[in-house]
Amino acid sequence: MTQRERPMSPHLMIYRPQLTSILSIIHRGTGVGLAVGTLFITWWLVAAAMGPGPYEATRELYGSWIGLLVLFGFSVCLFYHLCNGVRHLLWDMGYLFEIEQVNASGWVMLCASAILTLVAWSIGMSL
């Protein structure tokens, strides 16, 4: 039996990138990033529970430039996932389904997560 050439459904890559799809995949990406970040939260807590030696070593590591860089990445993931999660919950309740609203809420969410990240770091660095 000869197999007929069947039409393929358009692959994901063929579409022009859109705000909706990009924000959606970043939501998943930040979720995975936060999952990796739980390693560092656990590390910090366990080190503190082990005693002053491991705790100070962890503090030094987390306070180094590479530690701060990882922390910054974690905070970006945290605030993005938080803000976009609220957007998802609003959809779950049946709001903001019109395409203009989806795009507008996307930009609002991006601004909100950027502001929260900046506010958190300006407070954190001043302490």
Which residues here bind another protein, judged by CB under 8 A?
A: 28, 31-32, 34-35, 38-39, 41-42, 45-46, 48-49, 51-52, 55-56, 78, 82, 85-86, 88-89, 92, 120, 123-124, 127
HSE-CB for 21 with a 13 A CA cutoff: 7
CB of 2 to another protein, least distance (A): 27
Q: Is 80 exposed, middle or buried (0-12, 13-18, 19+ CB in 10 A)?
A: buried
Q: Is 77 exposed, middle or buried (0-12, 13-18, 19+ CB in 10 A)?
A: buried
CB of 5 to another protein, least distance (A): 23
CB of 85 to another protein, least distance (A): 5
Nearer to another protein, 12 or 99 (CB): 12
